[in-house]
Structures are given as C-alpha cells and as structure tokens.
Amino acid sequence: MLNNVPDILSLKDLTKTLQIGRNSALYLVQNNIIPACKIMGKWRIIKEDLIEYIRHT
C-alpha cells in the first residue's frame, strides 16, 4: 500500500496522495485528524499515520 509514497511526507505529498486541496490537508493536520508535527516550520507526516487514517475512513 502506498509504495511510491515517502516514509515521511510533506504537506504537498499529503495533498497529492489523498488528492485533496492544501486547505483540506491543513485542516487534517492542524486538528490532529492525521498526526503531524512541524519541523523547521514545515509539516511532516509519518507514512504509517497516513495509512492508519486511510484505514479508518
């Protein structure tokens, strides 16, 4: 599942993978629907957390 997706995703990677807009991706990470953290001002999402989100939606 998601073999071509990096292990740590940027917000842009998240939008491409889920085929959603930037505002929707920001909503998901800012509201901890998909766990993420900011590193040097940029959102980072662990691939396993994204997979878990997909499994439960």
pLDDT tens profile 7-53: 999 999 999 999 999 999 999 999 999 999 999 999 999 999 999 99
Question: pTM for the complete prediction?
Answer: 0.93
pLDDT of 1: 72
Cβ atoms of 44 and 9 closer than 8 Å: yes
Give domain status of residue 23, yes or no. Answer: yes
Expressed as residue numbers, the domain containing 49 is 8-55
Give domain status of residue 2, yes or no. Answer: no
Give domain status of residue 34, yes or no. Answer: yes
Give domain status of residue 48, yes or no. Answer: yes
Beta-bridged to residue 10, according to DSSP, are: none
Give domain status of residue 37, yes or no. Answer: yes
Torsion angles phi and psi, residue 46, rounded to 5: -80, 135
Our measurement of the distance from residue 33's CA atom to the centroid of its chain's CA atoms, rounded to an integer in Å, reads 10
